[in-house]
Structure 1
Amino acid sequence: MIVFRLIWESFRFAMDALKSNLTRTILSLLGVTVGIFAIIAVFTLVDSLEKNIKDSLTFLGSNVVRVDRFPFAENGRNYPWWRYFRRPPGTYAEFSFLEERLKSAQAVTISANTRTTVKANSNAYEMANLDGVVFNHKEVYDIPIDKGRFFTEMEIKAARNVAIIGVKIGEALFPGQEPLGKTFKIKGLKFTVVGLFVEEGEGLFDTPSKDEALLVPYGAFTKLFYVGKNGIEPIIAAKGRDDDPGLVMLENEMAGLLRAKRGLKPTAENNFALNKSEFIQDAVGSIFAVISIAGGVIGGFSILIGGFGIANIMFVSVKERTGIIGIQKSLGAKNYFILLQFLFEATALSLIGGLSGLIVVYAATFVSLGNLEIILSLKNIILGLVLSSAIGIVSGIIPASLASKMDPVVAIRM
């Protein structure tokens, strides 16, 4: 109980000292405000930019392994693209083979993609992002449907001319109307709208958006475009299980089955690449980790300058209150009471500056930066408060220590 009372008394002394020198207090905390603003603004901007980029890559799916000709992981000047270019693309037969035998996957899908023009009466939408998919596609990739439904298994097997369209396509083809149940044409073939995607809005980068997406059954797609070698290459993808960290089991099983299906000899290298969707997201995360470190170092110099400002003010404060320190000690005040008194003052000064910096960062999140959404996370708020407290303790520990060790007789005379 006595400890809490002494802490409260120290805190009260510190607040009174800050209020009595308001101008000096404001000037002192400006350095910390600028420092915290600089470092937290950098982290917030980097985190927001990373989140926006990763959100724009959601079309790659999560825990997904794709069969491609070109690997994601290799780069550099010696990338043998000519060797990968000669590899055969995936086929529907390989998809069926994997779907039947693959045990380490939740689901397997095959899809084909192209850009095309769709028409309804006198209206048209150019460069619609058309995908032909199978029934299990919704188990591998997220398909957010706002209105209507996904294809039935019978519609997929019978290659029915049905479609799920994005908001932009619906508004262009059927302005002011409900698109569900309406018909439109792709290369002269009529399709009926059975579903409408959830509106996504503009992305940060020019990545595939559901707003301009168009989904049809895989069989219907093959009636419109040639799929295979020298044509549109299909993509086979498998969704991994949650109990397979790193998708090691899935990758190994897929490689073994594909080698068997393609008749590769044991000594022959793979003529396909298995690419994980997380590779690109991890690469993005690594890049932004480096940017965060660089930004933290730059912001650290700003907050260091603020720390020097607080230390300087605390030395001045100790000198001004030397007589008071002597009186307090002569009346029985312990060394730790004097230490806490000045330490609280430095920490409080730094925390006020840190809170001011966080408020400025929060206000900056309301500034419009186009498609980039700035979010001040709880992690960065806590980081700002911890840094403020730390810089206050570090800046005030030496002046507070000097004050606590003063001789009361000498202090009263000064």
Structure 2
Amino acid sequence: MIVLRIIYEAIAQAWQQLYSNRLRSLLSLLGISIGIFCIIGVLSAVDSLEDNIRGSLDKLGSDVVYVKKWPWADVSGAWWHYIKRPNPDHSDYEVINEKAKTVDLASFHVVIGYKSVRFKSNTVENAVLIGSSLEFVEMFQIDFEKGRYFSPAEYHYGSNKMVIGAVVAEELFGEIDPIGRTIKMMGRKYEVIGVIEKSGDALLNPLDFDDCLLVSYNNARGLANLKARQIFDTSVNAKAAEGVSMQQMKDEIRGILRAHHRLPPRADDDFALNELSMISSVFDSFFGILNLVGIVIGLFAMLVGIVSVANIMFVSVKERTNLIGVKKALGAKRIVILLEFLIESVVLCFIGGLAGLGLIYAIITMLSNIIDFDMYLSFGNMVLGVVVSVLVGVASGLIPAIQASRMDPVEAMRQ
């Protein structure tokens, strides 16, 4: 009870000192508030950015292997080695579908390039034409705003059917329902059978089909030479069966493709097996650096805050020297005097930390309403801000509090 009473009286006295010296307290709080704002503000911004990007990447699937010409990891300047590789083709997809036991689902798509598409007098330029396999929509869990994907019969016979992105549909048809309408591309007429749901406003959107035109692979073969080097991109995608590790699936796919490509035992792979963890590892380093930069900037700001609060506490000890002498003469122990000034310093920094967190919340809320990017102040960062504020209070008030607790009561009362 005595300890609680001491703490209560110390807090009340600290508040009285802060109120009676408002300008001085405000200047001290400013240093702490700026420090907390720098540290927690940067951490909150980085957390929001990381969640946005990782959420977008999760659409690619953590259990999917992408067979591509180029590796996603650092190529260490050996681009000349990779550029000579052939593009993965439909035969690679077929052999994986036929022989791979660890694969639950495989798909193939080829990005043919930018094309123009026309409906009556409306024309859309530079729409991305993609030829896709039947499993493509299931592999990437594509949602439709209207219509559907290709039926097995339409896919098999390469019918002139097309699925379009939301932006293409809006620019071509406006308020008209696009389903069943006929559009023209490369001198051919296509019936629109589906409109892909519009992508969100994610900062990084690896599956953005808003400006795309999807035709079946069998139809795309009649539009371009799909084995030509001018083809923008091809990819064979394989999803692991239940209970199968990524490494098991990669090992089996590597063996199947090496045999299919008739590579000698000592020859390097002429394909890359990519997975989401490769990109995640790159972002781990990137976000680690951003967090470190934020902490370093915040530490410098906190150092200024510590110095300013310590200076205020030294002044406070000097002003109350006579009162300290009276208290010690009446029997107050050193720990009581030490706690009194230490708690005052902690309260000062705690209020400054809350002000900094309030400023961060206000700015984050304002930015979230202005830009199409969700930002938030997490509970963990709020707790971290409060803890840092308390630790700063202890660090900045410890020496003045020790100095006050060691005063001789007679000498203190004489001053």
User: Which residue of structure 2 aligns with residue 274 of structure 1?
Assistant: 273
Do structure 1's residue 110 and structure 2's residue 111 form an aligned pair?
A: no
The residue aligned with 2:390 is 389
Say whether 1:125 aligns with 2:124. Answer: yes
How far apart, CA to CA, are the structure 2 residues paired with 1:296 and 1:323?
41
- Cα RMSD over matched residues? 2.9
Offset of 1:111 from its aligned partner?
0.5
Shift in Å, 1:60: 4.8
Q: How does 1:302-313 map to 2 (within 5 A)?
A: 302-313=301-312
Q: 1:146-190 deviations in whole A, cap 9, x for unaligned?
A: 333344444433434333322211111101223233332322333
Distance 1:344 1:168, change over 3 A: same
Q: Secondary structure at the match of 2:221?
A: helix
Per the alignment, in what secondary structure is the counterpart of residue 222 of structure 2?
helix
* Preserved contact between residue 351 and residue 385 of structure 1 (Cα < 8 Å): yes
Q: Relative to 1, partners in 2 of residues 1:238 and 1:208: Cα closer, same or farther, differing over 3 Å?
A: closer
CA distance in structure 1 between the partners assigned to 2:387 and 2:148 by the alignment: 49
1:57: Cα distance to partner? 5.4
Q: Which residue of 1 aligns with 2:83?
A: 85
Q: Does 1:35 align with 2:31?
A: no
- Give the CA deviation at 1:385: 2.3
The Cα shift of 1:2 comes to: 4.7
Identity of aligned residues (%): 39
Q: CA deviation at 1:51?
A: 4.7
**Residue type at the aligned position of 1:381:** M
Q: Measure, in 2, the Cα distance between the counterparts of 1:210 and 1:69.
A: 22
CA deviations on 1:296-327 (whole Å, 9 max, x unpaired) are 21231111101110111111112212233333
User: Normalising to structure 1: TM-score of the pair?
Assistant: 0.87
Supply the distance in 2 between the matched residues of 1:121 and 1:7 (Cα, whole angstroms): 80
Gap change, CA 1:346 and 1:138, over 3 Å in 2: farther
1:335-414 alignment to 2 at 5 Å?
335-365=334-364, 366-367=366-367, 373-414=374-415
Give deviations 1:119-146, integer Å, cap 9, x for gaps: 1111111111222222322343242333
The answer on whether the counterparts of 1:201 and 1:211 sit within 8 Å (CA) in structure 2 is no
Tell me the distance in 2 between the aligned counterparts of 1:330 and 1:146: 82
- Greater shift after overlay, 205-214 or 391-400? 205-214
* CA–CA distance in structure 1, aligned partners of residues 219 and 182 of structure 2: 15
Correspondence list, 1:217-236, <5 A: 217-230=216-229, 232=231, 234-236=234-236
CA 1:60–1:186: 2 relative to 1, 3 Å: farther
Structure 1 unaligned blocks of 5 or more: none
Distance 1:302 1:391 in 2: 11
Instruction: Return the offset for 1:231.
Output: 5.3
State the alpha-carbon separation in 2 of the partners of residues 243 and 327 from structure 1: 76
Residue pairs, 1:292-331, within 5 angstroms: 292-331=291-330
For residues 253 and 363 of structure 1, the distance between their equivalents in structure 2, rounded to whole angstroms, comes to 53
- CA 1:384–1:147 in structure 2 vs 1: closer, same or farther (change >3 Å)? farther
Total equivalences in the alignment:
411
| Distance apart, 1:374 and its partner CA | 4.2
Which stretches in structure 2 are left out of the alignment for 5+ residues?
none
The question of whether the paired residues in 2 share the 8 Å contact of 1:10 and 1:338 is answered with: no
Q: 1:98 aligns with which of 96, 99, 108?
A: 96
Give the corresponding residue for 2:285: 286
Q: Which moved more, 1:276-285 or 1:19-28?
A: 276-285
Deviation per CA, 1:224-280, whole angstroms, max 9, x where unpaired? 2321244535311123468666x3222222111111222223222212221223323
Q: Which moves more between the two structures, 210-219 or 195-204? A: 195-204
Instruction: Pick closer, same or farther for the CA change 1:337–1:184 going to 2, 3 Å.
Output: farther
Q: Retained in 2: the 8 A contact 1:129–1:208?
A: no
Listed one character per residue, the Cα deviations across residues 42-61 of structure 1 (whole Å, up to 9, x for unaligned) are 33344444455556656755
Q: CA deviation at 1:340?
A: 2.5
Question: Is 2:243 the counterpart of 1:237?
Answer: no
Looking at structure 1, the residues matched to 379 and 406 of structure 2 have their Cα atoms a distance apart, in angstroms, of: 40
**SS class of match (1:234):** strand
Contact conserved, 1:228 with 1:234, CA < 8 A, in 2? no
Of 168-177 and 150-159, the range deviating more from structure 2: 150-159
- TM-score norm. by structure 2 comes to 0.87
CA displacement at 1:283 relative to structure 2: 1.5
Contact kept in structure 1, 2:146 and 2:194, CA below 8 Å: yes
| Cα distance change, pair 91–397 in 1 and its aligned pair in 2 (3 A) | same
Which range moves more in the overlay, 85-94 or 306-315?
Answer: 85-94
